[in-house]
Structure 1
Amino acid sequence: MSERTRRRGAVLENAITDGAWDVLVEQGYNGFTYEAIAARAGTSKPVLYRRWPQREDLLIATLTRHWRPLDIPDTGSLRQDALALLRTVNAERARTMILMRIQLADYFRETGTDFNDLRSRLRPADQTPPFAKLVDRAIERGELTDVPRPERVVNLPFDLVRHDMLMTMGAVPDEAIVEIVDTVWLPLLDLPTHSTQAGR
């Protein structure tokens, strides 16, 4: 009995999504075809179609398997939590984010979506975004006042780091991470959300 015949369930699905990831990395979304993935995974196209009727379904399954959830730090300090989280993102996600931006450009054009839409699909619906969780913990500890804060402000550190990664196509210098937290983010969290100028 061949290895192809013996594989079942999660073992087979993992082999397929691993092969699909290799195809995506090497050939981008244009090369992300059932034929190429089946050949790489050592299986047949009907096996893939039975599990993922649409190519986008297979793409999401592949990215979900290779987009490891981040460990949320809990140091007892909002500043240290934010720095630790951004450093983890920088170390573990820089290559993947850049890869996704480049190799999935055709996917974004084809579907009319963007990286934020894709990230929402990869994150479980009931999962609190990492920086929102850090802010919630800081409120519980009494570091921050419990006032409404715009989602854009709460998630700003990740957005700025991601921006720098994509602009430079590389990891972000640590001094930039410290600047984002100390100079940009923490002061914004303490500003009352209603302190806008009249007429703006």
Structure 2
Amino acid sequence: MAERRRGAALERALLDAAWEELTARGYAGFTMDAVVRRAGTSPPVLYRRWPDRDTLVRAAVTHVLERSHIDVPDTGSLRGDLLTLMRTINETRVRLITVMNAHLAGYYQETGTNPGDLLADAREANGDAIWERAVARGEIAPGRLTERIKRLPFDLLRHEILISFAPVPDAVLEEIVDTIVLPLVE
């Protein structure tokens, strides 16, 4: 007889089942009942935590992002930090980014959100530290730094991944940083 899951172990199992269901069937085929079956639990157990599939999808994506946490680099320069973070994302998250865009199109349409909304918390935690250190070092003028510019290198990286469904060549990452992003803030 299987041991009964509780607390954090149960929540992890439910979120893992939700992510597996999402990647197997996409948002269009994603149902709370399918997650219940995949997790081997009952509907009340799932609905007590997440009242609807949109909330569960957001929680599953957040869970996957937390599980694949990326440390914020501190190389001593804005260029180095951006390139290191972009290279890490490029090496570890191509599949995740592709799955999120391909399988969640219906979610974005139904909820009026976009991939950036789901990635915002992770991006802000990593990106803000990089930009704040660059300002403190005097590398960039804070008045030139907007939210759009802070998102730009990562939006361009995501775009490159989505047009190729593959990791982005390092020369392209350097071009994004050196010829597009840095001239905007220097």
TM-score for both structures, normalised by structure 1: 0.85
Structure 2 counterpart SS, 1:21: helix
In structure 2, stretches of 5+ residues that fail to align are: none
Structure 2 partner of 1:87? 87
More helix by share: 2
Q: Which has the larger radius of gyration?
A: 1
Structure 2 partner of 1:195? none
How far is 1:142 from its partner? 2.4
In 2, Cα distance between equivalents of 1:186 and 1:148? 11
In 1, Cα distance between equivalents of 2:181 and 2:61? 29
Structure 2 counterpart SS, 1:74: coil
For the 8 Å contact 1:132–1:155, the answer to whether it is kept is no
Structure 2 partner of 1:165? 161
In structure 1, stretches of 5+ residues that fail to align are: 191-200
Structure 2 counterpart SS, 1:147: helix
Identity of aligned residues (%): 47
Matched ranges for 1:72-83 at <5 A: 72-83=72-83
The list of structure 1 runs, each at least 4 consecutive aligned residues, that deviate by more than 6 angstroms after superposition, is none
Offset from partner CA, 1:39-64 (integer Å, 9 cap, x none)? 11111122111211111121122111
Matched ranges for 1:38-57 at <5 A: 38-57=36-55
**Root mean square deviation, CA, Å:** 1.8
Choose which of 177, 180, 186 in structure 2 pairs with 1:184.
180
For the 8 Å contact 1:83–1:181, the answer to whether it is kept is yes
For 1:61, give the aligned amino acid. Answer: A
For 1:184, give the aligned amino acid. Answer: I
How many residue pairs align between the two structures? 184
For the 8 Å contact 1:17–1:61, the answer to whether it is kept is yes
